[in-house]
Amino acid sequence: MSDWSKVRLHVVTGKGGTGKSTVAAALALALATSGRNVLLCEVEGRQGIARMFDVDPLPYEERRIAKGAPDHDGRAGQVHALHIDPESALLEYLAMYYKLGRAGKALRSFGVIDFATTIAPGVRDVLLTGKVYEAVQRPRGGRHHDAITYDAVVLDAPPTGRICQFLGVNSELAGLAKVGPIKGQADKVMELLRSPRTAVHLVTILEEMPVQETSDGIAQLREAGLPVGGIVVNLVRPRALSPSALAEVRTGQVDPTTIAADLTRAKVDVDAALVTSLVDEARDHAVRRQLEDEQRELVAAEGLPTYELPRMPGGIDMGALLDLAQLLREQGMA
């Protein structure tokens, strides 16, 4: 357990397929309690937030999409969402720092924006992180220049393999631009990203490749001077059998006649094929659990606050997200 109360920006990353977007959404709901406002941002252009919360595709503006998980007094905050796309971010950047106004919007028709983000791919990440920075730096409480202020911002970030490049591109830009608004903006963004106000959380599942990528990502983040947060172990299978029972199943010490007798007492029609199938499934489960426990030990060896979320048998909907949010709160992540 760790105290994240001073963190304003929660960056959530993880290997593809680990459910990082689900975890980011659940974390936003968990943080939005006691009347607090939380902004959930996405930058990968997949409209994943809209699908998870069953709302219309998000425009380039902040919209309230849900109430958060209630606290022990039943008080919930508000979750807003923002889908950040590079083109809109660039137009906003030009209007803010270069006062181009309509002239900036005219660039869209000439394809200048696509050219800029294609010829210099790092520009895209600078624009995306810059928009997140703008939301984080607003003073808490009420409104700021007609914009909502937030107690926390959750960023559904690119996967682990690209996270250091994504978060560190402002540092590279600051080194290239020696003066002017570009350098000033890049320096401010990196100051936030490397400060205690930011935490980069990593999502994994208990399989060899995701756990190894998580370990590599932690090392890379530390080398880059970026603050590592916690590890969220997602899609955890239920622990229905005790360690001793798992060992018996795994080593073939289960008596099929005992299983058949138990099934008969439960008024289940029993035949040899059914018993054999159940024993085989139990053995597969026991072997999988052993492999997961080995990976869990590797996760624990990282020495970071670790949180576990179960596999949701009914899939991910608003109810499931609220359940996951409550579990994160109970474990002390929010």
Q: Per-residue pLDDT averaged across 53-68, rounded? A: 92
- CA distance readout (Å), 164 to 13, 193, 231: 10, 11, 16
Q: Is residue 183 part of a domain?
A: yes
- Predicted confidence at residue 298, as pLDDT, reads 98
Q: Is residue 115 part of a domain?
A: yes
Q: Is residue 265 part of a domain?
A: no
Cα gap 279→257, rounded to integer Å:
11
- Predicted confidence at residue 119, as pLDDT, reads 47
- Predicted confidence at residue 113, as pLDDT, reads 52
Structure token pair of residue 324 = 């996951």
Q: Is residue 321 part of a domain?
A: yes
The pTM assigned to this predicted structure is 0.86
Cα gap 227→264, rounded to integer Å:
57
User: Which domain, by its residues, includes 213?
Assistant: 9-239+296-330
Q: Is residue 274 part of a domain?
A: no
Structure token pair of residue 238 = 């239920």
Q: Is residue 270 part of a domain?
A: no
pLDDT digits (tens, 9 = 90+) for 128-158: 888 899 899 988 766 666 678 999 999 999 9
User: Structural domain tally of the chain?
Assistant: 1
Q: Is residue 286 part of a domain?
A: no
Q: Is residue 56 part of a domain?
A: yes
Whole-number CA gyration radius for the chain: 24
- CA distance readout (Å), 213 to 44, 103, 296, 315: 20, 44, 14, 25
pLDDT digits (tens, 9 = 90+) for 281-312: 888 888 888 999 999 999 999 999 999 999 99
Give the other-Cβ count within 10 Å of 8's Cβ.
20
Residue 110 sits in a domain whose CATH number is: 3.40.50.300
